A = this chain, B = another copy of it.
């Protein structure tokens, strides 16, 4: 078997569901309509039709196909939900790298990793290639991959790069015309910050998401696909570390909220220089947090 016939099996079962909602003797929709409804190609529909025909569930051919009997549970095709999706793979891989302190410089083993992550080797290969630009991974001369690792160096450079991008975003933001929708969004985010500050004792866990929204908003004013691409990597990594460093979480979060508010206030006062200074301070704190989180994790 070459490609998995998962799509065929899923379509088959979906078709059974559809038939269950119909009466015996009813005519079936056209192949094109069925294909559109299930979101697959006509080829799959036809394979399913053939199977249903040989199973005695439908009869007829060409334009006139009718339901012969109601499908029952035994007609369903089992489908092993073995392989995971691409996003899941990304999450698991990063989790593995960032959590298990995989030593820098380790040679990666495609086959083994593919088994470990439950994906076909091919998919892993492609995934690793796509990670190439992120600097976490390197192609070895004669085949194979090497994990460069999430080192302190890496974290520092990532933070600095983030700072470059985000300070630029702050400058752009401060120069936006007053009727730009971002100002309204900023107001809303400010209210959310104030709100969370009031119930910080109980809900300090909510900060991680608010933090994400705040930084996303700031960066959203820079319409640039490269910035957006990096933003994804950055927020991913920072998000991951947020989850682990539980020390002082409540106080760190409260402090971060207050830092955000100083930035927002400066922006709303259209004081670009002040906003930039506040943002610089906040990003420095953030970088320190990331580094200390790494140190803590290393010892654990």
B225–A135 CB distance below 8 A: yes
Taken together as a complex, chains A and B put the C-alpha atoms of A134 and B154 apart, in Å, by 20
A214-250 contact mask (Cβ, 8 Å, vs B): 1 or 0: 0000000001111101100000000000000000000
Taken together as a complex, chains A and B put the C-alpha atoms of A134 and B230 apart, in Å, by 10
Q: Give how many A residues have a beta carbon under 8 Å from the other chain's beta carbons.
A: 24
A135–B229 CB distance below 8 A: yes
Taken together as a complex, chains A and B put the C-alpha atoms of A125 and B227 apart, in Å, by 25
Chain B: minimal CB distance from A102 (Å): 18
Taken together as a complex, chains A and B put the C-alpha atoms of A40 and B26 apart, in Å, by 69
- Our pick among B158, B165, B223, B226 for the contact of A135 (Cβ within 8 Å) is B226
- Our pick among B130, B226, B227, B229 for the contact of A129 (Cβ within 8 Å) is B130
Taken together as a complex, chains A and B put the C-alpha atoms of A165 and B132 apart, in Å, by 20
Taken together as a complex, chains A and B put the C-alpha atoms of A103 and B226 apart, in Å, by 21
Taken together as a complex, chains A and B put the C-alpha atoms of A222 and B203 apart, in Å, by 40
- Contact residues of A between 120 and 175, Cβ < 8 Å to B: 125-127, 129-130, 132-135, 154, 157-158, 160-161, 164-165, 168
Main secondary structure of the interface of A (DSSP, over half): helix
Q: Which residues of B contact A133 (CB under 8 A)?
A: 130, 132-134, 229
A157–B224 CB distance below 8 A: yes
Taken together as a complex, chains A and B put the C-alpha atoms of A133 and B88 apart, in Å, by 19
Taken together as a complex, chains A and B put the C-alpha atoms of A195 and B298 apart, in Å, by 54
- Our pick among B132, B158, B224, B227 for the contact of A130 (Cβ within 8 Å) is B132
Q: Which residues of B contact A223 (CB under 8 A)?
A: 157
Taken together as a complex, chains A and B put the C-alpha atoms of A130 and B225 apart, in Å, by 16
A164-B165 contact in complex given A135-B226, A226-B230, A229-B135, C-beta closer than 8 Å: yes
Which of chain B's residues has its CB closest to A126's CB? B129
A226–B130 CB distance below 8 A: no
Q: Which 9 A-B pairs have the closest CB atoms?
A: A129-B129, A133-B133, A161-B226, A129-B130, A126-B129, A135-B225, A130-B132, A157-B224, A164-B168
Residues of chain A having any CB pair with chain B under 8 Å: 125-127, 129-130, 132-135, 154, 157-158, 160-161, 164-165, 168, 223-227, 229-230
